[in-house]
Each structure stands twice: as structure tokens, then as C-alpha cells.
């Protein structure tokens, strides 16, 4: 049976619901050759099937499973328990707030003192957990939410292909992409106004797509020739970004004239409800294709990498990049130093 991604009323209950389902699945697939009490194991599996909204109760069940000889389950549970604590500290409100970047932040902060073997276990546990959810969630229309977590860019350990630098647009490609945004034919003029506005907002400020679709109308403030926008990052942490008035003024005024969004949202679909990240990523990819631009990653997050890369190339200020992107750890921002061409050019003069 499949379940909606945000199945329970609160994030805590939803996360523990999925963790119960996942650990039950793992217990039924791990070797049971060393189990000494099959009746107790059957009870534990039944408990997990029913689930628990208390992390301590869930942990006790799995400790009992380990004590009767079910080895290996703690390798999966311990990292996911730590992730739960991490997300609760930052006030997560939905499973949809979890993405590759958040998990990389978590791994960077939580595994710094661990051995390489333990780091690998953390990565395996996260990959297994979100792959399981990918396959088991479904909304009322039968559509599944897909995380697609790979963690290849995590600095602690590389994936099968090693650590990969993020895809981004160079300056020429940015100009072609901007021209393509304005030239692209959307289904309706209203959709075009909205999509141009939100895509330019992501490109020119580097905000996450999840932050963009959650922006409220009341979060926009005019300050001389600039719009100041308050966004809510991971853990509901607020920060401020800025964009020049001339970049969005025409589309912004046109959008406000037809604005019909519920719950105070700035952007919404035709029903007045929140846009999805998947929809915006598809639109960005289609615009890139229309401009003749192909990258390994063509979604909205690539626009965030583009902003950060060009910002670092221009400013050489890693703190500015960290603050602009809302990274909790500066090490997450450090990846963009790999694109400092002026420093790299110095290596060509060694001989």
C-alpha cells in the first residue's frame, strides 16, 4: 500500500511513520539466521507495521531486535535517528523540505568526527531511506514525489563517480538563457508572466526553488530601485535577498493585477495553490533546450549553482556566498571556489 508523502498531521509524526515503515522493511530483508527469539521478532515487526510517533519507543524496539540477534539494523537506524534530531532542531515542517543539499549539510556537520566506515554507513542509510520513500509514496492522483537522492557531491565521501562539481551556466549561457525566458511561448500569457517572474527571481538571487514557491506576497518590499525579499530557508530560518527593480518590474506588476493565490502566496497554480518544484524544473529544462543549452543537471537548482558560481568569481568572498545562499556551514559553499579561473590561470605560468 502506498501513502502520501506528508501522511501525518505534523512533520515529526510523518518522519517517524516513514522511519517505522522503512525499518520494518529492512528487518524483513536482513538475515535472520542468528535470531534467538522468533516470537519476539514477530512482535517487533508487528509494532513497526503499526508505527510509533515516539523516537524513543521506536529505538527500543530496534534495540530489542538487535539483542535477539537481528544484526545490521542499527547501521540504518542510527543515522536516520540523528537526521530526525537534526531536522527537529531546525524546525522542519514538511518532508518536502528535505533535499540533496540539506542532507549534505547534515552529513557535513554530523559525521565530521566519524571514521570513513561510519561515514559510508550514514550515506548508505540516507540513500536507502529516501529510495524506499520514492517507491512507496503516492498522492490521491497516483503521483509519487521523487527525491532522487544521490549524495555524489558530498565532500565527506564521493559516490560511485566520485565528487562531482555542480553544473552551472557561464556568462554567455546566462545571457542566452535570459533571452530564451523572454522569448519562450508558454501555454497562456498569464502562465508566462508568472513563470518568467519566478525563474528570474531564482536566477538573480540564488534562492532555492522550495524557497521561491513559498514566498509570500507580503515578503516583497520596495527599496529605491531594488526589491528586498524575505525568504524562509531550511528550518524556517529567514534571510533577505535583493533583485533590481528593472529585472522583474514589468512581469511583477502584470502578475499582481491577476494575482489569485491562496494563503498569501506570491506564486501559485491556476487553482490558487502552491506550485511544485518538479513543475518549475521541467519548465527551466524546456527553456534551456529552446536556447540550445544542455547541462548534466538542467533543473532549477542549476540556476542556484550558476548564481553562486558567478557571485564568487566576481566577489571572491566566500562569506558573501554563504550568506546569500543561506548555507548553515561555510564548507557547503566552498565548492564554488573550484571555479575561480583567475587563480587557476596562475598555474599555467609555473614553467
Q: Residue 222 pairs with which residues in a beta bridge?
A: 227
Q: Residue 223 pairs with which residues in a beta bridge?
A: 226
Give residue for cell 568526527: 113
E strands, 42-115, are: none
**Separate counts of helices (H) and strands (E) for the chain:** 15, 3
Q: Following DSSP, what letter does each residue of 148-215 receive, concatenated?
A: -----S-SSS-BTTB--PPP---HHHHHHHHHHHHH---SSHHHHHHHHHHHHHHHHH---HHHHHT-
- Which uninterrupted H or E stretch holds 343? helix 341-346
CB 56 within 8 A of CB 39: no
Q: What whole-number distance in Å separates Cα of residue 49 and Cα of residue 217?
A: 42
Active site residues: 208, 234, 301, 304, 327, 336
Amino acid at each position: 500500500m502506498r501513502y502520501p508523502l506528508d501522511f501525518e498531521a505534523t512533520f515529526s509524526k510523518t518522519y517517524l511513520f516513514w522511519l517505522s515503515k522503512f525499518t520494518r522493511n529492512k528487518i524483513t530483508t536482513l538475515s535472520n539466521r542468528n535470531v534467538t527469539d522468533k516470537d519476539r521478532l514477530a512482535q517487533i515487526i508487528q509494532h513497526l507495521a503499526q508505527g510509533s510517533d515516539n523516537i524513543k519507543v521506536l529505538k527500543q524496539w530496534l534495540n530489542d531486535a538487535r539483542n535477539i540477534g537481528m544484526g545490521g539494523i542499527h547501521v540504518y537506524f542510527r543515522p536516520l535517528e540523528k537526521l530526525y534530531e537534526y531536522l527537529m532542531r531546525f524546525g522542519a515542517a514538511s518532508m518536502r523540505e528535505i533535499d540533496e543539499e540539506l542532507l549534505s549539510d547534515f552529513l557535513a556537520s554530523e559525521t565530521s568526527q566519524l571514521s570513513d566506515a561510519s561515514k559510508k554507513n550514514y550515506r548508505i542509510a540516507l540513500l536507502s531511506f529516501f529510495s524506499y520513500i520514492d517507491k512507496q509514496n503516492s498522492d490521491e492522483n497516483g503521483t509519487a514525489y521523487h527525491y532522487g537522492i544521490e549524495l555524489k557531491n558530498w565532500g565527506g565521501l564521493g559516490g560511485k563517480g566520485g565528487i562531482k562539481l555542480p553544473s552551472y551556466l557561464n556568462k554567455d549561457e546566462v545571457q542566452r538563457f535570459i533571452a530564451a525566458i523572454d522569448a519562450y511561448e508558454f501555454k497562456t500569457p498569464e502562465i508566462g508572466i508568472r513563470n518568467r517572474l519566478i525563474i528570474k527571481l531564482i536566477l538573480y538571487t540564488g534562492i532555492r526553488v522550495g524557497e521561491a514557491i513559498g514566498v509570500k506576497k507580503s515578503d516583497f518590499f520596495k527599496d529605491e530601485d531594488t526589491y528586498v525579499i524575505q525568504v524562509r530557508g531550511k528550518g524556517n530560518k529567514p534571510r533577505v535577498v535583493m533583485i533590481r527593480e528593472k529585472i522583474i518590474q514589468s512581469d511583477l506588476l502584470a502578475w499582481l493585477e491577476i494575482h489569485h493565490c491562496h494563503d498569501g502566496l506570491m506564486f501559485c497554480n491556476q487553482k490558487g495553490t502552491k506550485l511544485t518544484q518538479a513543475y518549475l524544473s521541467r519548465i527551466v529544462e524546456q527553456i534551456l533546450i529552446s536556447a540550445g543549452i544542455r547541462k548534466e543537471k538542467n533543473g532549477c537548482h542549476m540556476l542556484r549553482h550558476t548564481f553562486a558560481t558567478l557571485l564568487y568569481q566576481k566577489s571572491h568572498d566566500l562569506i558573501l556566498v554563504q550568506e546569500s545562499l543561506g548555507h548553515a556551514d561555510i564548507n557547503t559553499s566552498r565548492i564554488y571556489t573550484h571555479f575561480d579561473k583567475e587563480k587557476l590561470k596562475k598555474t599555467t605560468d609555473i614553467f
